[in-house]
Structure formats: C-alpha cells, structure tokens
C-alpha cells in the first residue's frame, strides 16, 4: 500500500516567518494530495489540495508544491500568525484507492 512520511514532526517559528512541511510518498500513481489543519479537539479541516497534473497551487498565505519525480509535496505558509498554530496532516490518494493515507502530522507553533 501507499506509505506517507511527514517531516518535521514539530516546528516552531516566530510570527511573520515562513513554515514549510514536507511529505514523501511511495506510489508514483498517487494523484491527489490534500493538506489538513487540525486544532486541538477539533476536526481536521481541508486547507489546500493539489492534483498530480499541477506543480503548484497557492491560496493567499498558503501554497502547496508537488514534485512528482521525487514523489514529495510540501506545504508553505508565509507570514505566519499565532492562529496558524495547529497540527497539519498531509494525505495521499491513489487513483484506484478509496481512502486517503495520512502522514503522522506536524505540530506547528507560531510564537508571538
């Protein structure tokens, strides 16, 4: 099955700095790559996603880049704010699969 690795497991940045979280996957057939943000005790929320036919996607301060050759994709958050503090999960979907495979999560802390 698909194997997803996410790094780092924890990330602490100063307000205003950028944060980057990276995920690698094993199956080159994977074609959908969402990122979720989960605040403590709440549901994971889809914040951005990218499909395999696109190399980069941006939504305000959040961007995702995909390198299909190297089989990795990254979440970029610019001008971080304290409210960005949360756990972020990457996920991968195979075209033949019915379920997402999640990374282990990254605890992001933005210090004021």
Residues at the interface with other proteins (CB under 8 A): 32, 34, 36, 41-46, 49, 51, 89, 93, 98-100, 102-105, 107
Q: How far is the CB of 97 from other proteins (least distance, A)?
A: 10
Q: How far is the CB of 51 from other proteins (least distance, A)?
A: 8
Q: Pick the closer one to other proteins by CB: 21 or 44.
A: 44
**DSSP secondary structure of 41-94:** TS-EEEEEEEETT-SEEEETTEEEEEETTTTEEEEEE-S--GGG-EEEEEEEE-
Q: Pick the closer one to other proteins by CB: 14 or 98.
A: 98
């Amino acid at each position: 099955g698909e194997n997803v690795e996410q790094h780092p497991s924890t990330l602490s940045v100063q307000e205003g700095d950028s944060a980057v979280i990276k995920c690698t996957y094993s199956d080159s057939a994977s074609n959908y790559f969402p990122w979720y943000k989960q605040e403590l005790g709440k549901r994971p929320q889809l914040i951005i996603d990218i499909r395999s036919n696109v190399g980069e996607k941006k939504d305000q301060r959040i961007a995702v880049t995909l390198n299909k050759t190297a089989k990795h994709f990254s979440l970029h958050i610019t001008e971080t704010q304290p409210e960005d503090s949360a756990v972020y999960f990457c996920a991968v979907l195979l075209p033949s699969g019915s379920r997402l495979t999640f990374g282990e999560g990254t605890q992001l802390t933005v210090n004021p």
